Structure 1
Amino acid sequence: MNLTNNKMNGTQEFKTVLNEAELAYFEALIKNKKEEAQQELEYLMGTLEDIRTADDNDSSSIDHHMSDMGSIEESLDLTNRLIERNIKFIRELDRALVRIENGTYGICRATGQPIEKGRLEFAPHTRYSIAAKNSGLDKRIALA
């Protein structure tokens, strides 16, 4: 496979090797995953509100036990972490759509080589090949 190499402002940017049909497929896959993630986010936001409402109602009760408060705090913490994870995932999906638009989708950000289609199927938002991920290149680039 040949990659198109564009040099702009001293940086190398490789263009995708995926054809139009493949790009359309991955775009639809990403949009579908984004819609699912947004629905899950809405559900989690509702759950968070329900937990807070239940906590407010329970707080006024004289029989409000410490174990109940701990359980509510644990539920709030877990739900907040799930919300944060979902927001991050949606952001990554949006970035993948931008890469499709600018022609760099499916190219490893660390190596400049094509990302395996199987990996894109599994994680269509990924910016790194399995080799880059396993070698830790993805972490080093993220910190740079």
Structure 2
Amino acid sequence: MEKQDNLRYSEADLKEFEEIILKKLMDARKELDFIKDSISRRNDSGTDDTTGGNSKTLEDGADTAEKEQLNQLAARLQKYVTQLEHAQIRIKNGTYGVCIDTGKLIPKERLRLVPHTQHSIEAKLARK
């Protein structure tokens, strides 16, 4: 039974991780909202062209490329937000910080840097 205690972080540790996750979640959501706002503003601004001709085609291509980059960034951020939310759930259900491959505790240093991870470095390297 005592070994079971070593497979879980203390309440104080979990509180620290929860605060890290919450801050990262707030930052990511703020950035995601900003990107979504930028995308919708780009969709709205298409009627102010007075130059005409060939330059409009070049601008359309650049706008499309930039909008695609923003969409990709938004998708990555949305995935990150979801991963952070899942980490919050793991804290609540007591499985946070345990590697899903090895069953061992993920080092605190790794969790502080990548709080949404479910893999120890060893497990991550073994997957490559």
Note whether the superposition's TM-score is higher than 0.5. yes
Number of aligned pairs? 126
Match of 1:39 among 30, 38, 50: 30
**Greater share of helix:** 2
Q: CA deviation at 1:116?
A: 1.1
Q: Is the 8 A contact 1:16 1:105 kept in 2?
A: no
Q: How does 1:23-62 map to 2 (within 5 A)?
A: 23-54=14-45, 56-58=46-48, 62=52
Distance 1:3 1:127, change over 3 A: farther
Q: Tell me, what secondary structure is at the counterpart of 1:65?
A: helix
Is 1:99 aligned to 2:83, yes or no? Answer: no
Q: CA deviation at 1:36?
A: 0.6
> Which residue of the partner structure matches residue 11 of structure 1?
none
Q: Unaligned stretches of 5+ in structure 1?
A: 6-14, 138-144
Q: Is the 8 A contact 2:7 2:104 kept in 1?
A: no
Q: CA deviation at 1:18?
A: 0.9
Q: TM-score, normalised by structure 2?
A: 0.89
> Which residue of the partner structure matches residue 111 of structure 2?
120
> Which residue of the partner structure matches residue 66 of structure 1?
57
Q: TM-score, normalised by structure 1?
A: 0.79
Structure with more relative contact order (C-alpha pairs < 8 Å, separation 6 or more): 2
Q: What's the RMSD between the two structures over aligned residues?
A: 2.1
Q: CA deviation at 1:4?
A: 2.4
Letter in 2 for 1:4: Q
Q: Distance in 1 between matches of 2:28 and 2:70?
A: 14
Runs of 4+ in 1 over 3 A off after TM superposition: 58-61
Match of 2:12 among 10, 15, 21: 21
Distance 1:65 1:117, change over 3 A: same
Q: CA deviation at 1:59?
A: 6.4
Q: Distance in 1 between matches of 2:3 and 2:33?
A: 40
Q: Distance in 1 between matches of 2:48 and 2:24?
A: 37
Q: CA deviation at 1:53?
A: 1.9
Q: CA deviation at 1:16?
A: 4.4
Q: Tell me, what secondary structure is at the counterpart of 2:101?
A: coil
